[in-house]
Every structure is written in structure tokens, then in C-alpha cells.
Amino acid sequence: MTDPLFEVIDATWPAASVREVGGFLIREGQGGGSRVSAASLVGRLEDADIDEALAAQRSLGQTGKFILRPGDEALDLALAKRGFEVFDPVVILAADLAALPSEVPPVTAFAHWPPLAIAREIWSENGIGPARQAVIDRTPQPKATVLGRTKDRAAGAAFVAIHQRSAMLHALVVAPEFRRLGLARSIMAEACRWAATEGAERMTLVVTKANVAALALYRALGMQPVCAYHYRREAQS
């Protein structure tokens, strides 16, 4: 799969290591989530290669997990026959930066690097722990943390990075007690402002289909679904 969208994902949320085994790309995630630990098909599908990919993942201490993108229908069927279960169906959204809001209300959000301690604290308290923060740290420049503020305190954070003029937003969180106050919009606007100043032309992001609230927010801001994918993993006992 050479779709530029997936190149942007890999570049802005990179695995700890990557190697090719048979017809698969094996990612070492080190606890950084499915995006950095799922195997992807890069060659002709051979059933024996699935076994090699599984062995390679287990050698890293990872369970068998595959990403299924457009064009991977044969692999999807082969894994289904092996009893692999679908999880985390995902939507990729994108829009030209020029069409997205970039006016940031005063004192609500600012981009910076490296992340302030308070941004790391907000991430840690809202599901973006050390393993995912390690992904953020190893992502190549240009990149930025966006810290969000409301009611005179830091209450949200996000990460944005650029690959070949496409920015991708990751790890946007708002503390539960400060949600529904417009802070996510401010963080998004600051991410767009920063990305434009760094020469990006498009904003992209990945959202699980189950995250209905986030999908509604991004659609309201002008982002459109452009692609979908899902994962399969060995059935959980």
C-alpha cells in the first residue's frame, strides 16, 4: 500500500522499528498502540507469509495484529478464516488548511516544542501514557505540542506533525471536567495555524468510528472522511 495518507500516518506516528518479513511490514510498537504495532501487507499475499508475520510479531512480544486498508480485501478474508477478530474500525479525515478555522481565541491554545511538563501531565491523565509519548518524542520534525487553556488553567493537549506538506493531528485530549467548552476547537485551530506557518497545505487525522463526538466535531470544522480501515487480531480468549 503506497497511499500517501498511510505514509503520513507512519511518518507522524512512527513505530520504534520496522522490518520486512515475507510480504509484510512488521512494526515494533513498544506499547504505543495499534498503529505502530500492526503488520501491513506490502507484497503479494501468500498464506505462509501470514505465519511468518505472526512469528515475527511474537518474537517482539506482540500479539498477532494486522492493519487492513483499501486493497487488502484478500488478506482480510484470509484472516477472518483463521478466526481473527475485527477491532477499531477507523476513519481518516482530511481538508485543505485554507478551508479550516485558524483563528485562535486569545490565551486558549499555543503550539510549542518540546512539550511542557503540564502537557505531558494532561496526556498521562487522559490515556496518552509514557509509551505513546515515546512515539511523539521519536517523531521527526517539524512537529509541535498544542497546549489548551480554559478557565485560567491548562486543560487540554494535542500533538501535530508534518510529512510532505500534510499535517496530521494526534493525541488530542481535553480533561473531562473541561469538555464541551470549545477547547478542542481552539486546539484544532492552533494546530492548523501552526501547520500553515510550517508550509503544510492539508490537515489530516484518524478517528475510530466509535468516537461519535469527535467525528461530529471534526465534520463541523470542515473535515471530510476520505478513507477507512480496520484491524484484525488473534481472537481474545
- Residues 81 and 99 reside in one and the same domain: no
To which residue does cell 505531558 refer?
120
Same domain for 153 and 58 = no
114 preceded by a cis bond (ω within 30 of 0): yes
CA–CA dist 188, 148 (Å, integer)? 10
Last residue of a domain, one of 43, 67, 91: 91
Q: Does this model's pTM top 0.85?
A: yes
91, 124, 145 - which closes a domain:
91
Q: How many domains does the chain have?
A: 2
Q: What is the DSSP letter of 128?
A: -
Per-residue confidence in pLDDT tens, the chain, 237 aa = 457 999 999 999 999 999 999 899 999 999 999 999 999 999 899 999 999 999 999 999 999 999 999 999 999 999 999 999 999 999 999 999 999 999 999 999 999 999 999 999 999 999 999 999 999 999 999 999 999 999 999 999 999 999 999 999 999 999 999 999 999 999 999 999 999 999 999 999 999 999 999 999 999 999 999 999 999 999 876
Instruction: Quote the cell numbers at residue 189.
Output: 485551530
Pick the last residue of a domain from 57, 91, 125.
Answer: 91
Are 72 and 12 in a shared domain? yes
Helices (H), the chain: 4-12, 47-59, 73-81, 117-125, 130-138, 183-197, 212-221
Range of the domain at 178: 94-227
236 occurs within a structural domain = no
Sheet holding 17-21, edge to edge: 17-21, 24-28, 40-41
Please count the other Cβ atoms lying within 10 Å of the Cβ belonging to residue 16.
17
